[in-house]
Amino acid sequence: METILHTLDAGILTLTINRPDKLNALNSQVLAELDTTIKDVYINPAIHGVIITGAGPKSFVAGADITEFSGLSKEQAFLLARKGQDIFSFIEQCPKPVIAAVNGFALGGGCELALACHIRIASSNARFGQPEVNLGLIPGYGGTQRLTRLVGKGLAMEWILSGNLVDAAEAHRTGLVNHVTAPESLLSTATTLLQTILSKSPTAVSRSIQAIHAAFDKTEAEGFEREAELFSDCAGSEEMMEGVAAFIEKRKPAFRK
Ligand code: COA
């Protein structure tokens, strides 16, 4: 792959979007490579969790590649938005945990990429925004939906309508990111959190992700039903037996063989 660097260490795949001279803007090649990569994450047993970050000190991803927008027809724009939405939904629905380590600008498609990840950690120099209104566009890779669900309608309206950027402290205060770190601690903070998650029952982690998503795409009653199904799915598994036995025997559970 040319535009995404892969590092696999102890089950953690770190993906680095690697176009630093273009602030890691998402051109069609990055999108295609992201699509291939995330599909591999689903099926590759060596990958237990993912960190997504950007190359260089300045930018996570500064948006879709604007140079590819010239001459975009309405039909092409619709298909492009659907393609981006599908890839980001694949990230969101991934049964393995995905953390965005936001190391600078997360604008437009970059903010949408971070929003599709399960958890966001930002360096203190991160800046978030959906500045598409400056281009005569709206967010097209899920931003109007995911930002609204994460921070609420009022803030999403303000940020998307004004195109204003939000710094790391405001992103933290509003729940857009879970933690803010010094730039030099960003990857270690993301790795430590992911290691904690990966030490838990993989089945329980993946079912938790599914159950939490149900809070957004189902009614509350349907969400309770889904939670019960997923709870029952975990019951009686080797992992549950190991977790319960470890508690009784006063030792740490070993979920991965
Ligand atoms: N698409 C394509 N190229 C981009 C880009 C994008 N979204 N964002 C940045 N770049 C390119 C710039 O064109 C520039 O390339 P060049 O050196 O060949 O001219 C390079 O990345 C560096 O960006 P530059 O604008 O010089 O950096 P800056 O520090 O002055 O400004 C930003 C940083 C992020 C404020 C500015 O690049 C910007 O506004 N980018 C677009 C953000 C955006 O609208 N994203 C949503 C797209 S839908």
pLDDT in tens, 131-159: 999 999 999 999 999 999 999 999 999 99
pTM flag (> 0.95): yes
How far is residue 73's CA from residue 80's CA, in Å, rounded to a whole number? 10
pLDDT in tens, 11-42: 999 999 999 999 999 999 999 999 999 999 99
Q: Atom 14 of ligand 1 has which residue's CA nearest to it?
A: 22
Range of the domain at 158: 4-198
**What total number of domains does the chain contain?**
2
Identify the pLDDT of residue 213: 96
Active site residue 68: no
Is 222 a member of any domain? Answer: yes
Kindly give the distance from the C-alpha atom of residue 248 to the centroid of ligand 1, in angstroms, as a whole number. Answer: 56
pLDDT surpasses 90 at 95: yes
**Taking all residues of the chain, what is their mean pLDDT, rounded to a whole number?**
97
Is 26 a member of any domain? Answer: yes
Active site residue 225: no
pLDDT in tens, 154-189: 999 999 999 999 999 999 999 999 999 999 999 999
Q: Atom 19 of ligand 1 has which residue's CA nearest to it?
A: 22
Radius of gyration of the chain (CA): 19
Identify the pLDDT of residue 47: 98
Catalytic residue among 33, 68, 75, 112: 112
Dihedral over alpha carbons 249, 252, 255, 257 (to 10 degrees): -90
Residue with tokens 């300045």: 58
Identify the pLDDT of residue 1: 87
Identify the pLDDT of residue 27: 97
Residues 214 and 152 in one domain: no
Identify the pLDDT of residue 235: 95
Q: Is residue 22 within 6 Å of ligand 1 at its C-beta?
A: yes
Residues 239 and 129 in one domain: no
* Vertex 178 angle, CA 182 and 159, to 5°: 95
DSSP secondary structure letter of residue 185: G
By residue count, the chain amounts to 257
Is 256 a member of any domain? Answer: no
Residues 153 and 241 in one domain: no
pLDDT surpasses 90 at 217: no
Is 257 a member of any domain? Answer: no
| Helix pair 74-92, 28-43: axis angle to 10 deg | 30
Q: Is residue 112 within 6 Å of ligand 1 at its C-beta?
A: no
pLDDT in tens, 31-88: 999 999 999 999 999 999 999 999 999 999 999 999 999 999 999 999 999 999 999 9
Identify the pLDDT of residue 38: 97
Identify the pLDDT of residue 179: 98
Q: Atom 18 of ligand 1 has which residue's CA nearest to it?
A: 22
Residues 27 and 141 in one domain: yes
Q: How far is CA 181 from CA 72, 97, 113, 191, 195, in A?
A: 39, 20, 19, 13, 17
CATH assignment of the domain containing 58: 3.90.226.10
Is 225 a member of any domain? Answer: yes
pLDDT surpasses 80 at 257: no
